[in-house]
Amino acid sequence: MKSHLHIALMQIDIQWEQIDENLRQISQQLAALPRETEVVFLPEMFATGFSMNAEKLAQPMNGKIVQWMREQAYKHRIILCGSVMIYDQGKYWNRLIWMQPDGNFGTYDKRHLFAYAEEDKHYTSGSRQLIAQVNGWRVALYICYDLRFPVWCAQQPTDDGSAAYDVLAVIASWPASRIEAWDLLLQARALENQAYVIGVNRVGEEPPAKAHASHGIQYPGYSAIVDPAGKWLYRSTHPQPEIITHILSAQHLQQVRKHFPFLRDRDRFTILNHE
Protein backbone atom coordinates (compact mmCIF):
# COMPACT_ATOMS: atom_id res chain seq x y z
CA MET A 1 0.00 0.00 0.00
CA LYS A 2 1.26 3.46 -0.90
CA SER A 3 1.90 5.56 2.21
CA HIS A 4 -0.66 8.23 1.30
CA LEU A 5 -3.75 8.61 -0.87
CA HIS A 6 -4.63 12.05 -2.25
CA ILE A 7 -8.38 12.47 -2.63
CA ALA A 8 -10.84 15.19 -3.61
CA LEU A 9 -14.55 15.46 -2.84
CA MET A 10 -16.60 17.68 -5.13
CA GLN A 11 -19.59 19.07 -3.25
CA ILE A 12 -21.46 20.59 -6.17
CA ASP A 13 -24.76 22.30 -6.91
CA ILE A 14 -26.24 19.97 -9.54
CA GLN A 15 -28.45 21.72 -12.07
CA TRP A 16 -31.64 19.70 -12.39
CA GLU A 17 -31.53 17.40 -15.44
CA GLN A 18 -29.08 19.74 -17.23
CA ILE A 19 -26.42 17.28 -18.33
CA ASP A 20 -24.33 19.59 -20.51
CA GLU A 21 -24.23 22.38 -17.92
CA ASN A 22 -23.29 20.02 -15.10
CA LEU A 23 -20.48 18.44 -17.11
CA ARG A 24 -19.21 21.89 -18.09
CA GLN A 25 -19.06 23.09 -14.49
CA ILE A 26 -17.39 19.94 -13.22
CA SER A 27 -14.83 20.09 -16.04
CA GLN A 28 -13.80 23.56 -14.86
CA GLN A 29 -13.47 22.38 -11.26
CA LEU A 30 -11.41 19.34 -12.22
CA ALA A 31 -8.95 21.60 -14.01
CA ALA A 32 -8.37 23.50 -10.74
CA LEU A 33 -7.49 20.45 -8.61
CA PRO A 34 -3.98 19.98 -7.18
CA ARG A 35 -1.80 17.98 -9.55
CA GLU A 36 -1.12 15.29 -6.94
CA THR A 37 -4.84 14.38 -6.71
CA GLU A 38 -5.35 10.66 -7.30
CA VAL A 39 -9.10 10.02 -6.81
CA VAL A 40 -12.02 12.42 -7.26
CA PHE A 41 -15.44 11.61 -5.82
CA LEU A 42 -18.60 13.17 -7.31
CA PRO A 43 -22.11 13.00 -5.77
CA GLU A 44 -24.86 10.59 -6.76
CA MET A 45 -26.24 11.21 -10.28
CA PHE A 46 -23.84 14.12 -10.68
CA ALA A 47 -24.91 14.87 -14.26
CA THR A 48 -28.67 15.05 -13.71
CA GLY A 49 -29.59 15.21 -10.05
CA PHE A 50 -31.49 12.41 -8.30
CA SER A 51 -34.12 12.16 -11.02
CA MET A 52 -36.66 9.39 -11.62
CA ASN A 53 -36.91 10.44 -15.27
CA ALA A 54 -34.79 7.50 -16.42
CA GLU A 55 -36.75 6.89 -19.61
CA LYS A 56 -35.72 10.32 -20.87
CA LEU A 57 -32.27 10.83 -19.37
CA ALA A 58 -30.60 7.42 -18.99
CA GLN A 59 -27.70 6.74 -21.34
CA PRO A 60 -25.91 3.58 -22.47
CA MET A 61 -22.42 2.78 -21.24
CA ASN A 62 -20.98 4.23 -24.45
CA GLY A 63 -22.99 7.44 -24.05
CA LYS A 64 -21.92 11.04 -23.49
CA ILE A 65 -21.53 10.97 -19.71
CA VAL A 66 -19.37 7.86 -19.49
CA GLN A 67 -17.27 9.09 -22.40
CA TRP A 68 -16.83 12.43 -20.61
CA MET A 69 -15.65 10.57 -17.50
CA ARG A 70 -13.13 8.65 -19.60
CA GLU A 71 -11.82 11.85 -21.20
CA GLN A 72 -11.50 13.72 -17.90
CA ALA A 73 -9.80 10.82 -16.13
CA TYR A 74 -7.26 10.58 -18.94
CA LYS A 75 -6.74 14.34 -19.22
CA HIS A 76 -6.08 14.89 -15.51
CA ARG A 77 -4.53 11.48 -14.78
CA ILE A 78 -7.03 10.79 -12.01
CA ILE A 79 -9.57 8.19 -11.04
CA LEU A 80 -13.03 9.73 -11.38
CA CYS A 81 -15.89 8.24 -9.36
CA GLY A 82 -19.59 9.10 -9.52
CA SER A 83 -22.97 7.58 -10.34
CA VAL A 84 -24.93 7.89 -13.57
CA MET A 85 -28.38 6.78 -14.67
CA ILE A 86 -27.63 4.01 -17.17
CA TYR A 87 -29.72 1.98 -19.62
CA ASP A 88 -28.19 -1.46 -19.99
CA GLN A 89 -29.54 -4.94 -20.77
CA GLY A 90 -33.04 -3.54 -21.16
CA LYS A 91 -33.08 -2.06 -17.64
CA TYR A 92 -32.33 1.22 -15.88
CA TRP A 93 -29.61 1.38 -13.24
CA ASN A 94 -28.24 3.90 -10.75
CA ARG A 95 -24.67 2.92 -11.58
CA LEU A 96 -21.47 4.04 -9.90
CA ILE A 97 -18.51 4.19 -12.26
CA TRP A 98 -14.90 4.04 -11.11
CA MET A 99 -13.10 5.42 -14.17
CA GLN A 100 -9.33 5.03 -14.36
CA PRO A 101 -6.91 7.18 -16.40
CA ASP A 102 -6.23 4.33 -18.84
CA GLY A 103 -9.93 4.03 -19.70
CA ASN A 104 -10.53 0.85 -17.71
CA PHE A 105 -13.36 1.07 -15.21
CA GLY A 106 -15.33 -0.77 -12.55
CA THR A 107 -19.06 -0.48 -11.88
CA TYR A 108 -21.40 -0.86 -8.94
CA ASP A 109 -25.19 -0.83 -9.29
CA LYS A 110 -26.95 0.62 -6.25
CA ARG A 111 -28.18 -2.23 -4.09
CA HIS A 112 -30.64 -0.41 -1.83
CA LEU A 113 -33.05 1.63 -3.93
CA PHE A 114 -34.82 4.42 -2.05
CA ALA A 115 -38.45 3.24 -2.11
CA TYR A 116 -39.54 6.34 -0.18
CA ALA A 117 -38.86 8.31 -3.40
CA GLU A 118 -40.04 5.41 -5.62
CA GLU A 119 -36.54 4.80 -6.92
CA ASP A 120 -37.35 1.08 -6.91
CA LYS A 121 -40.10 1.68 -9.48
CA HIS A 122 -37.70 3.23 -11.98
CA TYR A 123 -34.38 1.44 -11.47
CA THR A 124 -33.15 -2.11 -10.97
CA SER A 125 -31.33 -3.10 -7.80
CA GLY A 126 -27.76 -4.37 -8.04
CA SER A 127 -26.46 -7.49 -6.33
CA ARG A 128 -22.67 -7.24 -6.50
CA GLN A 129 -20.29 -5.11 -4.47
CA LEU A 130 -17.26 -3.29 -5.80
CA ILE A 131 -13.97 -2.94 -3.98
CA ALA A 132 -11.66 -1.00 -6.27
CA GLN A 133 -7.91 -0.58 -5.90
CA VAL A 134 -5.57 2.36 -6.29
CA ASN A 135 -1.87 2.09 -5.43
CA GLY A 136 -2.53 -0.75 -3.02
CA TRP A 137 -5.44 1.00 -1.28
CA ARG A 138 -8.73 -0.91 -1.40
CA VAL A 139 -11.85 1.26 -1.72
CA ALA A 140 -15.35 -0.11 -1.09
CA LEU A 141 -17.93 1.88 -3.03
CA TYR A 142 -21.55 2.59 -2.14
CA ILE A 143 -24.39 4.92 -3.13
CA CYS A 144 -26.41 7.07 -0.72
CA TYR A 145 -29.16 4.90 0.85
CA ASP A 146 -26.72 1.97 1.06
CA LEU A 147 -25.16 3.81 4.01
CA ARG A 148 -28.12 2.86 6.21
CA PHE A 149 -27.44 -0.87 5.87
CA PRO A 150 -24.45 -1.94 7.98
CA VAL A 151 -24.38 -5.57 6.85
CA TRP A 152 -24.03 -4.56 3.20
CA CYS A 153 -21.21 -2.19 4.12
CA ALA A 154 -19.47 -4.52 6.56
CA GLN A 155 -15.91 -5.76 6.29
CA GLN A 156 -16.21 -9.29 4.94
CA PRO A 157 -13.83 -11.76 6.62
CA THR A 158 -10.86 -12.70 4.47
CA ASP A 159 -8.95 -15.98 4.52
CA ASP A 160 -6.05 -14.48 6.46
CA GLY A 161 -8.24 -12.46 8.83
CA SER A 162 -7.25 -9.09 7.39
CA ALA A 163 -9.58 -6.28 6.40
CA ALA A 164 -11.31 -6.46 3.02
CA TYR A 165 -10.99 -2.71 2.40
CA ASP A 166 -9.24 0.40 3.70
CA VAL A 167 -11.66 3.13 2.58
CA LEU A 168 -15.45 3.13 2.45
CA ALA A 169 -16.74 5.78 0.04
CA VAL A 170 -20.37 6.87 -0.21
CA ILE A 171 -21.57 9.15 -3.00
CA ALA A 172 -24.91 10.70 -2.18
CA SER A 173 -27.88 12.97 -2.72
CA TRP A 174 -28.78 13.20 0.97
CA PRO A 175 -31.44 15.78 1.91
CA ALA A 176 -31.26 18.36 4.68
CA SER A 177 -34.26 16.87 6.48
CA ARG A 178 -32.25 13.74 7.36
CA ILE A 179 -28.72 15.14 7.61
CA GLU A 180 -28.31 14.20 11.29
CA ALA A 181 -28.57 10.55 10.27
CA TRP A 182 -25.92 11.12 7.59
CA ASP A 183 -23.44 12.34 10.20
CA LEU A 184 -24.13 9.49 12.61
CA LEU A 185 -24.00 6.78 9.97
CA LEU A 186 -20.72 7.98 8.49
CA GLN A 187 -19.07 7.80 11.90
CA ALA A 188 -20.67 4.44 12.70
CA ARG A 189 -19.47 2.86 9.45
CA ALA A 190 -15.93 4.09 10.16
CA LEU A 191 -15.88 2.75 13.71
CA GLU A 192 -17.34 -0.67 13.02
CA ASN A 193 -15.16 -1.30 9.96
CA GLN A 194 -11.94 0.42 11.10
CA ALA A 195 -11.68 2.15 7.75
CA TYR A 196 -11.58 5.70 6.47
CA VAL A 197 -15.07 6.79 5.44
CA ILE A 198 -15.65 9.33 2.70
CA GLY A 199 -19.08 10.85 2.22
CA VAL A 200 -19.65 13.26 -0.65
CA ASN A 201 -23.03 14.97 -0.87
CA ARG A 202 -24.47 17.62 -3.14
CA VAL A 203 -25.82 21.08 -2.37
CA GLY A 204 -28.66 23.06 -3.92
CA GLU A 205 -32.34 22.39 -4.44
CA GLU A 206 -34.48 20.17 -6.62
CA PRO A 207 -37.55 21.69 -8.30
CA PRO A 208 -40.83 21.19 -6.38
CA ALA A 209 -42.29 17.78 -7.13
CA LYS A 210 -45.83 19.13 -7.07
CA ALA A 211 -47.24 22.29 -8.57
CA HIS A 212 -48.57 23.56 -5.23
CA ALA A 213 -45.29 23.02 -3.37
CA SER A 214 -43.41 26.17 -2.39
CA HIS A 215 -39.95 24.62 -2.66
CA GLY A 216 -38.20 21.40 -3.56
CA ILE A 217 -35.83 19.14 -1.68
CA GLN A 218 -32.91 20.96 -0.09
CA TYR A 219 -29.42 19.45 -0.11
CA PRO A 220 -27.03 20.82 2.54
CA GLY A 221 -23.71 19.28 1.60
CA TYR A 222 -22.06 18.13 4.83
CA SER A 223 -19.53 16.15 2.83
CA ALA A 224 -17.09 14.58 5.24
CA ILE A 225 -14.05 12.41 5.86
CA VAL A 226 -13.91 10.22 8.97
CA ASP A 227 -10.83 8.41 10.25
CA PRO A 228 -10.78 4.67 11.19
CA ALA A 229 -11.40 5.56 14.85
CA GLY A 230 -14.58 7.49 14.01
CA LYS A 231 -13.09 10.98 14.33
CA TRP A 232 -13.88 13.76 11.90
CA LEU A 233 -10.96 14.63 9.64
CA TYR A 234 -13.10 17.07 7.71
CA ARG A 235 -16.76 18.01 7.83
CA SER A 236 -18.36 20.65 5.65
CA THR A 237 -21.02 22.58 7.54
CA HIS A 238 -22.30 25.10 5.03
CA PRO A 239 -24.61 24.49 2.05
CA GLN A 240 -22.28 25.89 -0.59
CA PRO A 241 -20.29 24.30 -3.41
CA GLU A 242 -16.90 23.21 -2.17
CA ILE A 243 -13.92 21.20 -3.33
CA ILE A 244 -12.44 19.24 -0.43
CA THR A 245 -8.94 17.84 -0.75
CA HIS A 246 -7.32 15.57 1.80
CA ILE A 247 -4.44 13.13 2.21
CA LEU A 248 -5.22 9.76 3.79
CA SER A 249 -2.42 8.12 5.78
CA ALA A 250 -1.76 4.37 5.59
CA GLN A 251 0.32 4.55 8.76
CA HIS A 252 -2.58 6.00 10.76
CA LEU A 253 -4.92 3.31 9.44
CA GLN A 254 -2.50 0.56 10.44
CA GLN A 255 -1.93 2.08 13.88
CA VAL A 256 -5.66 2.17 14.64
CA ARG A 257 -6.11 -1.45 13.59
CA LYS A 258 -3.04 -2.60 15.52
CA HIS A 259 -4.02 -0.77 18.71
CA PHE A 260 -7.52 -2.27 18.75
CA PRO A 261 -7.53 -5.38 16.51
CA PHE A 262 -11.21 -6.31 16.73
CA LEU A 263 -11.70 -7.01 13.01
CA ARG A 264 -10.33 -10.52 13.53
CA ASP A 265 -13.35 -11.24 15.78
CA ARG A 266 -16.00 -10.14 13.30
CA ASP A 267 -18.81 -12.48 12.26
CA ARG A 268 -18.72 -14.53 9.11
CA PHE A 269 -21.81 -14.30 6.94
CA THR A 270 -23.14 -14.58 3.41
CA ILE A 271 -25.35 -11.95 1.80
CA LEU A 272 -28.14 -13.39 -0.34
CA ASN A 273 -29.33 -11.77 -3.56
CA HIS A 274 -32.74 -10.10 -3.66
CA GLU A 275 -34.10 -12.64 -6.13
Q: Where are the alpha helices (DSSP H) in 97-221?
A: 150-153, 179-193
Residue 106 is inside which H or E element, if any? strand 105-109
Residue 50 amino acid letter: F
Nearest to 128 by CA among 105, 109, 143: 109
Distance (Å, whole) CA 94 – CA 20: 19
Residues annotated as catalytic are 44, 110, 144
Question: Would you list the DSSP string of 129-146?
Answer: --EEEETTEEEEEEEGGG
Residues near 116 by beta carbon (within 8 Å), at least 6 away in sequence: none
**What is the DSSP code (8-state) at residue 1?**
-
Q: Are 88 and 126 in contact (CB under 8 A)?
A: no
